[in-house]
Structure 1
Amino acid sequence: MEDRLPHGRAGGGLSASEPAEPLHPVGRDAGRMDAFILANTALSVPPHVPEIRLRLASEAFGLWQRTEEELATLGLPPPFWAFAWAGGQALARYLLDNPGVVRGREVIDVGTGSGLAAIAAARAGARRVHACDTDAFAQRAASLNAAVNGAAITVCGEDVLARSPFDPASPFAAILGAGPTVVLLGDLFYEPALARGMRNLAERLCARGHGVFVGDPSRAYLPRDGVLHELAVYEVPVTRALEDAEVRRSAVYAFRHKDFA
């Protein structure tokens, strides 16, 4: 029987019997977070996006071997930022191969994690890229990874589900009000509540003329009622310790609006 990672993602290679070095307390200031990230990751190349380098956890570091309780005790959310998930790799690959999707446009990457899709958008010629994640460690990881790749992105911690991006107080209100914007959702349909929120957000964005692009390896809560238009399919190499296979068939989809071209 396969093991289950936090928040519903499967991992076939984790074992409670495998020892892991204990985590050490880390503060929330940028310097200490950066030090933690650098100590627990190595500069790596995502297999499906070799043009980009990221600070990623290797199996040896065993971040996913820590229980949610231990991470919570240390004030650390699950380290989604430390891995290049299949949906994010597919989305980044699509943007690099189809730069016209983002060239010259404002881009918002929701749940940016490592920053992979945001970096790909910047390299594909986006006018400005806004990488958004509520996890402070993800914000720092995305910033570090952008610097490694020489990519100009703006990182923020705005929660687009807690406050509508159309709210005048949102940092995205002016961006969305200025014209068609590209919004990226990479591998975010793995929990029911999160998936519902992302779908509602995507439908509201499309109704106002914005383009929403999804990268996903058929997670459990990916919409399957025809609202997604498939654009590309990839066979993405993944780590068995994180997924239930060595390759995940991953697709890029669009919620399309008639006025977005």
Structure 2
Amino acid sequence: MTCNSRASVSRGPGEATPSDGKGAGLTVPGARAFVLAETRLQRVPSVPEVALHLAEEAHGLWLKTEAELQSAGLAPPFWAFAWAGGQGLARFILDHPAVVAGRRVVDFASGSGLVAIAARKAGASHVTAVDIDPFCGAAILLNAEANGVSIDIAIKDPVGKMIKADILLAGDVFFDRAMSAAIIPWFDRLAGEGVQILIGDPGRAYVPVERLERLAVHRVPTSQALEDADFKATTVWRWRRGAG
């Protein structure tokens, strides 16, 4: 589906401010220019239908920005890479567009916006990309523009809150013990209230397999600078209603 090139952020083009959570109140007026300077627009290996502004050399950008961003209370530049979980989930959505077609979608911990963009291309009626990192606002906005799709962007922490969506998508979110402990009961609650939850995961340590139903497995190209292999077997899971 071809959409008008538009993405809305709650701040304005080129700026992002987290509405709550860590770093609340911090503005990043140079985020758009920073993303453009540090990335190159390129096709995603396992999702060539989507082009993203991605870092060409992982360690360089990471080391260059880590100290600066962390001193400001911000996360490392997760938005500059197409992580394996997101690639697998985006591939699944584009291969099975009926899953999201005509439905309201939230892409949780969106990062670059890859999964959100895939959902919009697959025919979702409305897509909101959510992340706590204000740099993601600029990255997702640029990536939505590059792909000619219309999505909304929310820089906030939604965990524990209700969402206005039929489907929640989450790529690569179970890499941290504390984050996983917060997400799991929230996902249980959302699933119990009728929200369908789809997860892309390449075997992270804290994925709650006992709560999940396997839908597909994709072999996703990765970089040894980011992962421990050139390819990752990424599983697409569906959260089982009443799993908790």
Q: State the TM-score bracket (shorter-chain normalisation).
A: 0.7 to 0.9
Equivalent residue for 1:34, pick from 8, 22, 32:
32
Q: Distance in 1 between matches of 2:173 and 2:99?
A: 20
With 204-213 and 63-72 compared, the bigger mean Cα shift is at 63-72
1:23-102 paired onto structure 2 within 5 Å: 28-30=27-29, 32-59=30-57, 62-66=60-64, 68-73=66-71, 76-102=74-100
Q: Report the alpha carbon displacement of residue 64 of structure 1 after superposing the two structures with TM.
A: 2.1
Q: Retained in 2: the 8 A contact 1:41–1:61?
A: no
One-letter code of the match for 1:28? Answer: T
- TM (norm. structure 2) is 0.84
Per the alignment, in what secondary structure is the counterpart of residue 257 of structure 1? coil
Q: Distance in 1 between matches of 2:201 and 2:58?
A: 26
Q: Distance in 2 between matches of 1:60 and 1:230?
A: 30
Match of 1:20? none
**Residue deviations 1:151-174 (CA, integer Å, cap 9, x gap):** 11000012112xx322xxxxx3xx
One-letter code of the match for 2:35? Answer: I
CA gap of 1:72–1:152, structure 2 versus 1, over 3 A, is: same
Q: Distance in 2 between matches of 1:199 and 1:218?
A: 16
Query: Larger strand proportion, structure 1 or 2?
Result: 2
Runs of at least 5 residues in structure 1 that lack an aligned partner in the other structure: 1-26, 167-171
Segments of 4+ in structure 1 off by > 6 A?
none
Equivalent residue for 1:253, pick from 227, 237, 243:
237
CA gap of 1:202–1:74, structure 2 versus 1, over 3 A, is: closer
Match of 1:11? none
Match of 2:6? none
Q: Distance in 1 between matches of 2:110 and 2:58?
A: 24
CA gap of 1:76–1:257, structure 2 versus 1, over 3 A, is: closer
Say yes or no: does 1:198 pair with 2:157.
no
Match of 1:237? 221
Q: Retained in 2: the 8 A contact 1:86–1:236?
A: yes
Runs of at least 5 residues in structure 2 that lack an aligned partner in the other structure: 1-25
CA RMSD of aligned residues (A): 1.8
Identity among equivalent positions (%) equals: 46
Q: How many residues align?
A: 217
Q: Which has the larger radius of gyration?
A: 1
